[in-house]
């Protein structure tokens, strides 16, 4: 089977690593990929926004399946384009069409979907310029802190959590005035949920589903969960506060109604659903949907999946997921994201990296890296995810940190406390 994988992050390196283990894979292309993905396939310079270029490549190379890593191409209709082009319409796409991708592309759509299908989530009001007064009154009914979300995609920056009511009202006006461009012409105001967050991943063909290993990620740049939000500084799977009872509630109250809701709404959906959840005193509440895998969660989810990923994805693409089960390793997987100094603010690119050959017992999933002649240089804020399996979380994390210390580049930074907050929930 020939597969084209779209994306260039640590998530795509982890997916490429896993796909490449399948005896069923004959050729893997990654567009555009990074210095790590080229170990598992051929990087190709395609622009995912150029749908006709992607369709041409799929047809010319006789690709059997398209796997889309990031959300943006899906929200922009890449899966629709592949389905509507005669030469590519037969190719299964892992990733929904634009209508389903609105679960991530529009917070207002996602909240209305959850309300319609009685899926537990925070109380909310969707506000535009025409009902800003109603928005202010809704804020008056809530307790601090106040959560304001830009409706559209805002590169992970569109959520504000504010302590004062005055500040929330001022920000609401600024957002509607274009603080995040068109993405905030509608703003979702939400009740604040307190609890502890985790990420749950589902693979679906639109009627059946498989629940993949869950994970916890570390979003803040600083140790002890301080400082600015990032794309993610590390991750751990499994999550000790997501036991069997909790995960059963997640499946019954959230996963099943989500998949059934999509079908009831006439939205065909093949691909991943990433459910950002809050564990509120043992009850799961949805914070957000994403229509892709998480990054860096994928880096800890893929190593725990024992089943053949090509097989599972093909079954999802061909409406045959009900025939499949998933086998998951009991081992703990952890990842530590090494980033460029300054990230998530401004940072250097093109910095030479070394030490890869000294790494022992960890997997390296490249994120922002590229080849520069024979060298590997940095090419983004999140640079490389050092990932390890272990019998216990402590064993896995110790392995990560021993190898983190072997990878060198100027200005490198990482959090030294990944997974430490979980000690209070651990039995192993
Ligand atoms: P989102 O982009 O919707 O995932 O929001 C980004 C982050 O803001 C989430 O990962 C949460 O940490 C936080 N957040 C979003 N919505 C809420 C909420 N209703 N209550 C508490 N925290 C929230
Ligand atoms: N790690 C969170 C995300 O991928 O959105």
CATH of the domain at 137: 3.30.1490.20
Please indicate, yes or no, if residue 293 is contained in any of the structural domains: no
The pLDDT of 207-213, averaged and rounded, is: 98
Q: What is the CATH number of the domain that holds 87?
A: 3.40.50.20
50-54: average pLDDT:
96
pLDDT over 70 (residue 44): yes
pLDDT digits (tens, 9 = 90+) for 295-321: 999 999 999 999 999 999 999 999 999
**Is residue 178 within 8 Å of residue 208, measured between CB atoms?**
no
- Please give the model's pTM, rounded to 2 decimal places: 0.96
Distance 210 CA to ligand 2 centre (A): 20
User: Is the preceding peptide bond at 67 cis, omega within 30 degrees of 0?
Assistant: no
CA distances from 143 to 115, 140, 158, 165 (A): 21, 8, 21, 9
Which pLDDT value is given to residue 425?
85
Query: Has residue 155 been placed in a domain?
Result: yes
Please state, for a pLDDT cut of 70, what percent of the chain lies above it: 100
Do 92 and 171 share a domain, yes or no? no
Segment 363-374, tens digit of pLDDT:
999 999 999 999
Q: Same structural domain for residues 132 and 185?
A: yes
Indicate whether 156 pLDDT > 90.
no
Confidence check: pLDDT of 428 > 70: no
Q: Work out which ligand 2 atom sits closest to the CA atom of 156.
A: 5
pLDDT at 426 over 80: no
* Contact call for residues 246 and 223 (beta carbons, < 8 A): no
Q: Calculate the average pLDDT of the chain.
A: 96
Q: How many residues does the chain have?
A: 428
**Which residue's alpha carbon is nearest to atom 2 within ligand 2?**
294
Q: Please, which pLDDT band fits residue 413 given cuts at 50, 70 and 90?
A: very high
Q: Whose CA is nearest to atom 3 of ligand 2?
A: 294
What does the alpha-carbon distance between residue 318 and residue 305 come to, in Å, rounded to a whole number?
Answer: 21
Which domain covers residue 176, as residue numbers? 124-190
Give yes or no: residues 141 and 78 share one domain. Answer: no
**Which ligand lies nearest to the CA atom of residue 152 in the structure?**
1
Report yes or no on 247 lying in a domain.
Answer: no
Per-residue pLDDT at 197? 95
Are residue 64 and residue 136 in the same domain, yes or no?
A: no
Last residue of a domain, one of 190, 207, 239: 190
User: Is residue 246 scored above 80 in pLDDT?
Assistant: yes
Does 58 share its domain with 135?
Answer: no
Q: Looking at residue 171, what is its pLDDT?
A: 93
Residue 35: its pLDDT value, please?
98
The best mutation among 159, 190, 198, 229 to test binding of ligand 1, ranked by most ligand atoms within 8 Å of the C-beta, falls on 159
82: in domain: yes
- 415 in a domain, yes or no? no
Strand partners, 7: 32
Residue 165 to residue 124: CA distance in whole angstroms: 16
Q: Which residue would you say has higher pLDDT here, 275 or 184?
A: 275
What pLDDT score was predicted for residue 70? 97
> How far is it, in rounded angstroms, from Cα 11 to Cα 15?
6
* pLDDT for 71: 95
The span from the CA of 280 to the CA of 69, in Å, is: 30
Of the bound ligands, which one is closest to the alpha carbon of residue 106? 1
Supply the residue whose CA is at minimum distance from atom 4 of ligand 2: 294
Task: Return the pLDDT at 157.
Answer: 79
Nearest alpha carbon, ligand 1 atom 3: 288
Does the beta carbon of 295 lie inside 6 Å of ligand 2?
A: yes
- Contact 367/15 with Cβ under 8 angstroms? no
Place of tokens 């892992």: 94
Task: Quote the pLDDT of residue 427.
Answer: 58
Q: Label each residue of the chain as H, E or C.
A: CEEEEEECCHHHHHHHHHHCCCCCCCEEEEEECCCCHHHCCEECCCCCCCHHHHHHHHHHCCCCEEEECCCHHHHCCHHHHHHHCCCCCCCCEECCCHHHHHHHHCHHHHHHHHHHCCCCECCEEEECHHHHHHHHHHHHHCCCCEEEEECCCCCCCCEEEECCHHHHHHHHHHHHCCCCHHHHCCEEEECCCCCEEEEEEEEECCCCEEECCCEEECCEEECCCEEEECCCCEEEECCCCCCHHHHHHHHHHHHHHHHHHHHHCCCCCCEEEEEEEEEECCEEEEEEEECCCCCCHHHHHHHHECCCHHHHHHHHHCCCHHHCCCCECCCEEEEEEEEECCCCCCCCCCCEEECHHHCCCCEEEECCEEEECCEEEECCCEEEEEEEEECCHHHHHHHHHHHHCCCECCCEECCCCCCHHHHHHCCC
Ligand 2 centre to CA of 414 (Å) is 17
Residue 424, pLDDT above cutoff 90: no
Q: Does 128 lie in the same domain as 89?
A: no
| Strand-pair partners of 273 | 202
- What's the rounded mean pLDDT across residues 162-167? 95
What does the pLDDT average to over 383-397? 98
Quick: pLDDT tens for 101-129.
Answer: 999 999 999 999 999 999 999 999 999 99
Which residues does residue 147 pair with via DSSP β-bridges, in sequence order?
161, 190
Question: Is residue 65 located within the same domain as residue 148?
Answer: no
For residues 57 and 137, membership in a common domain is answered with no
Question: Last residue of some domain: 175, 190, 205?
Answer: 190
Extract the tokens encoding 210.
């498989």
SS (H, E, C) 370-400: EEECCEEEECCCEEEEEEEEECCHHHHHHHH
Query: Does pLDDT of 227 surpass 70?
Result: yes
Q: Is residue 316 a part of any domain in this protein? A: no
- Residue 352 pLDDT class (50, 70, 90 cuts): very high
With the most atoms of ligand 2 within 8 angstroms of its CB, the residue from 237, 239, 290, 381 to mutate is 290
338 Cα: distance to centroid of ligand 2 (angstroms):
16
Judge if 137 and 90 occupy the same domain.
Answer: no
For ligand 1, atom 6, which residue shows the shortest CA distance? 159
Separation of CA 324 and ligand 2 centre (Å): 26
Of residues 306, 343, 336, 332, the one with CA closest to residue 392: 332
Q: How far away, in angstroms, is 296 Cα from ligand 2 center? A: 7
Nearest atom in ligand 2 to 290's CA: 5
Place of tokens 């369709």: 55
Query: From the CA of 289, which ligand is nearest?
Result: 1
The number of folded domains in the chain is: 2
Atom 5, ligand 2: residue with shortest CA distance: 294
Same domain, 6 and 87: yes
**How many Å lie between the centroid of ligand 1 and the Cα of residue 277?**
9
By C-alpha distance, which of 27, 24, 30, 29 is closest to 11? 30
131 and 73 share one domain: no
Question: Are 53 and 13 part of one and the same domain?
Answer: yes
């Amino acid at each position: 089977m020939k597969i084209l994988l779209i994306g260039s992050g640590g998530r795509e390196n982890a997916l490429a690593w896993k796909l490449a283990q399948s005896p069923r894979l004959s050729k893997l292309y990654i567009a555009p990929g990074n210095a790590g993905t080229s170990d598992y396939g051929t990087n190709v310079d395609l622009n995912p926004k150029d749908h006709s270029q992607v369709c041409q490549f799929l047809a010319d190379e006789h690709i059997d399946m398209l796997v889309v890593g990031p959300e943006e191409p899906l929200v922009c209709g890449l899966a629709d384009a592949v389905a509507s082009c005669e030469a590519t319409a037969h190719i299964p796409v892992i990733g929904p069409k634009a209508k389903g991708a609105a679960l991530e592309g529009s917070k207002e759509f996602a909240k209305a979907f959850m309300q319609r299908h009685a899926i537990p989530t925070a109380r909310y009001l969707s506000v535009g310029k025409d009902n800003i007064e109603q928005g202010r009154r809704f804020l008056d009914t809530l307790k601090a802190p106040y959560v304001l979300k830009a409706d559209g995609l805002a590169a992970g920056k569109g959520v504000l959590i504010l302590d004062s009511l005055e500040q929330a009202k001022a920000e609401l006006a600024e957002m509607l005035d274009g603080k995040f461009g068109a993405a905030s012409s509608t703003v979702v105001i939400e009740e604040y949920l307190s609890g502890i967050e985790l990420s749950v991943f589902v693979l679906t063909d639109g009627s059946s589903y498989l629940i993949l290993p869950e994970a916890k990620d570390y979003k803040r740049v600083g140790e002890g969960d301080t400082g600015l939000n990032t794309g993610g500084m590390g991750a751990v799977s499994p999550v000790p506060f997501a036991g069997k009872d909790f995960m059963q509630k997640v499946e019954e109250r959230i996963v099943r109604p989500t998949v059934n809701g999509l079908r009831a709404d006439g939205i065909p959906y093949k691909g991943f659903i990433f459910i950002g959840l809050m564990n509120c005193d043992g009850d799961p509440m949805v914070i957000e949907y994403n229509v892709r895998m998480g990054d860096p969660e994928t880096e800890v989810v893929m190593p725990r999946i024992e089943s053949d990923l090509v097989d599972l994805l093909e079954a999802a693409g061909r409406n045959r997921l009900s025939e499949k089960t998933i086998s998951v390793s009991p081992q703990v997987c952890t990842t530590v994201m090494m980033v460029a100094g300054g990230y998530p603010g401004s940072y250097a690119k093109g910095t030479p990296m070394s030490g890869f050959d000294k790494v022992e017992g960890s997997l390296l999933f490249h994120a922002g890296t590229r080849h520069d002649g024979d060298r590997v240089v940095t090419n983004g804020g999140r640079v490389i995810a050092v990932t390890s399996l272990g019998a216990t979380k402590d064993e896995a994390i110790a392995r990560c940190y021993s190898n983190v210390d072997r990878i060198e580049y100027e200005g490198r930074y990482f959090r030294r406390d990944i997974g430490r907050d979980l000690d209070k929930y651990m039995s192993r």
